[in-house]
Structure 1
């Protein structure tokens, strides 16, 4: 067992690390160590400079909005996940570590940057933020090194988290093209280069199945970003709750939601019913005007929504699996369809009224140019322009494919601001 403290519901296999190491401070659990390593990592701190929905450093001059970043989103996701996981019998430190680390691999400019890097990486395995998170946790973030027996050189094992922590942070437990429901899906959790550690993490796990803690993390992610993006949109003046009563506006929201946030065969009436249920609540944030009273009402609505979504999942899961401790592969998280539809409606509202604004699309186009030009420039002059960590990896890379992956790793590590500066 890693450390001296047993963890109810988990065994030695769950707390094993890729590279065995002693505990420097006995008395902590293995998952407390995992949480501390993620919390103190440079990769987590860099998320403060990476886009969630609105680019960091921009603001609405009329509303003084302070938009979420990837870091604040990750912290909020961690708070939601810790409480939901604990209520269901998961180790709270394990779920919090997974929530904190789930977005670490996301590049500058959010999902827009992810698409740009995927275009650049199409001939060397593609780019996916979740696969990049695993790569970062197990290889890139410098915390622990081991000696390569073949060369005698030090080799990074990243944060060297436990098997259970890495599994809990894995939202898509399959390589590219192996999604069991949709082989053409762009979502995957591991690059070919990282299959050895992925296979170690997944030893004994059912193929393609997310562990229970990863399911809690995934739902906590959905809850946090749907509710907070909705809150940010109202606070910034882009969403007016009263307009959600308009039939034409609703039709536009359903168009965004169906296929993107709910299955293609979803009846729009289901979404209408979901929004009606939310609008009917006493705490629904009508008439927001930016005053202190309105801000407090909006914050209460945010808390009410998070509680509503989490309690629904907790209740449905307990009804299915009983009152025992639910961990690893002993259960599935159950989220009622009605609750998923309510969450999806909030996502679609933020998408339509915040992300699809004309000025945001113009900004995203500029960002894609920045990353394309940066990738081209580094391809021509690398190792010049690479940070020392990536310069060394580039020089040691065995072939062009591996060197290109190093360039991708370097770009993915940048913040929005540093990517913009590096391109000029």
Structure 2
């Protein structure tokens, strides 16, 4: 069922009626509220967003290292921080702030338990059935899995049956939440890239979202969301690492340690062929700032300085993008496909160096690798157990979908959907129950 109208008389500046359409047209309950305010509210009140509180960001929820004396960030707190950054940056550039915030809040909804580690394990399990990608899973969740709106099917063979349309967000909100607007293997410059934004069986709604979009371009709001995501996690992961005692700021002045950081950046966070001297200059620019948390020792004064450094970094990265984008396009609202977000190369290098610092000193710790190995075993064994024993172990929602599935491929996708919705703790609990020896 395809939307052909919008439900609100209040149209945000810079957006046409087509951007406000929903897959299933529905009337507004509160006249005067914009469609994007409604989108934001739906995402904010969703169970999928709440579940992110139990999913790994960098440090697994519920675990504590000897140095850790505060709650680590989760996918939920990261999403909230990304939303705050994105809302302000988007508003400064003329985007609708509710639209950008809705995209930022929902961008990680499809991530499975155990963060990117769980994503890789699920992708291995689902390789022959279309793979797994957290961003494609987010679209699936927003448009199909999150139970909010049901409509009568008009498809041959299922006419009249109730089918879920997920949160039934506007076209603009779904587009803004789409980082990778292409199918698996269809990356515009790298066919081997594991990143994609839609599964093959979700193509109808994806094509509806993108029917007026130019090629593989992401909309301006999605670019703001993507940069806000980079800013939030690069800055906050370093903050958490310093606070936990995993990062010694003095090491960033030692040449062997600096080279190790640059090697991580070159392998993951900047394009191949980037001159390491550019990364060295980026790190030095940050270390030269008066507000940089030199000599962090965990004292109250040091904690306050670290918080100030966090604010300074976020402001530095956002103002650089805002200034460069305005320099190219001038004043006025920038929306949809009317502009490209411009982030100076030097700013991207600074952000990349921060990501590499967190990667080197937090994610590459021996204890983290041991934990990740165990997590991969949990996902693999859970997927095998659910496949062998389903519908046992499935929640009622997924049990019904499993019973309705037409073939093994569709049933395997239901198993993947169930696992992706679990938190770290519930994945371990279900794994124990399904793999325990039967009496």
TM range (shorter): over 0.9
1:18 partnered with 2:23: yes
**Which consecutive unaligned segments of at least 5 residues does structure 1 have?**
none
1:342 partnered with 2:350: yes
Alignment of 1:186-201 (within 5 A): 186-201=194-209
Counterpart contact for 1:2–1:12, Cα < 8 Å: no
1:225 partnered with 2:233: yes
1:128 to 122, 127, 133: 133
Q: Once the two structures are superposed, what CA deviation does each residue of 1:331-374 show, in whole Å capped at 9, x if it has no partner? A: 00000000000000000000000000000000000000000000
Secondary structure of the corresponding residue to residue 304 of structure 1 = helix
Q: Once the two structures are superposed, what CA deviation does each residue of 1:34-70 show, in whole Å capped at 9, x if it has no partner? A: 0000000000000000000000011223341321000
Aligned twin of 1:36: 41
Moved segments of 4+, more than 2 Å? 60-63
1:163 partnered with 2:168: no
Q: Distance in 1 between matches of 2:68 and 2:403?
A: 49
Counterpart contact for 1:124–1:401, Cα < 8 Å: yes
Q: Once the two structures are superposed, what CA deviation does each residue of 1:60-93 show, in whole Å capped at 9, x if it has no partner? A: 2334132100000000000000000000000000
Following TM superposition, by how much is the alpha carbon of 1:259 offset from its aligned partner in structure 2, in angstroms? Answer: 3.0
Alignment of 1:74-153 (within 5 A): 74-149=79-154, 150=156, 151=158, 152-153=160-161
Q: Distance in 2 between matches of 1:174 and 1:242?
A: 43
Secondary structure of the corresponding residue to residue 128 of structure 2 = coil
Aligned twin of 1:175: 183
1:400 partnered with 2:408: yes
Secondary structure of the corresponding residue to residue 10 of structure 1 = coil
Q: Once the two structures are superposed, what CA deviation does each residue of 1:264-316 show, in whole Å capped at 9, x if it has no partner? A: 11100000000000000000001111111111000000000000000000000
Secondary structure of the corresponding residue to residue 113 of structure 2 = coil
Secondary structure of the corresponding residue to residue 427 of structure 2 = helix
Counterpart contact for 1:253–1:345, Cα < 8 Å: yes
Q: Distance in 2 between matches of 1:287 and 1:368?
A: 37
Secondary structure of the corresponding residue to residue 194 of structure 2 = coil
Secondary structure of the corresponding residue to residue 163 of structure 2 = strand
Secondary structure of the corresponding residue to residue 398 of structure 2 = helix
Aligned twin of 2:384: 376
Q: Distance in 1 between matches of 2:65 and 2:80?
A: 23
Q: Once the two structures are superposed, what CA deviation does each residue of 1:148-194 show, in whole Å capped at 9, x if it has no partner? A: 13422100000000000000000000000000110100000000010
1:210 partnered with 2:218: yes
Following TM superposition, by how much is the alpha carbon of 1:111 offset from its aligned partner in structure 2, in angstroms? Answer: 0.1
Q: Distance in 2 between matches of 1:295 and 1:58?
A: 22
Following TM superposition, by how much is the alpha carbon of 1:204 offset from its aligned partner in structure 2, in angstroms? Answer: 1.1
Q: Distance in 2 between matches of 1:256 and 1:65?
A: 27
Aligned twin of 2:66: 61
Secondary structure of the corresponding residue to residue 213 of structure 2 = coil
Counterpart contact for 1:84–1:310, Cα < 8 Å: yes
Counterpart contact for 1:53–1:229, Cα < 8 Å: yes
Following TM superposition, by how much is the alpha carbon of 1:6 offset from its aligned partner in structure 2, in angstroms? Answer: 1.8
Aligned twin of 2:301: 293
Q: Distance in 1 between matches of 2:296 and 2:281?
A: 23
Q: Distance in 2 between matches of 1:208 and 1:252?
A: 35
Aligned twin of 2:192: 184
Counterpart contact for 1:212–1:329, Cα < 8 Å: yes
Equivalenced residues, count: 424
Secondary structure of the corresponding residue to residue 106 of structure 1 = coil
Aligned twin of 1:361: 369
1:326 partnered with 2:331: no
Secondary structure of the corresponding residue to residue 72 of structure 1 = helix
Aligned twin of 2:437: none
Secondary structure of the corresponding residue to residue 423 of structure 1 = helix
Secondary structure of the corresponding residue to residue 341 of structure 1 = helix
**Which consecutive unaligned segments of at least 5 residues does structure 2 have?**
1-5, 433-439
Q: Distance in 2 between matches of 1:45 and 1:68?
A: 14
Tell me the TM-score normalised to structure 1 length: 0.99
Aligned twin of 2:274: 266
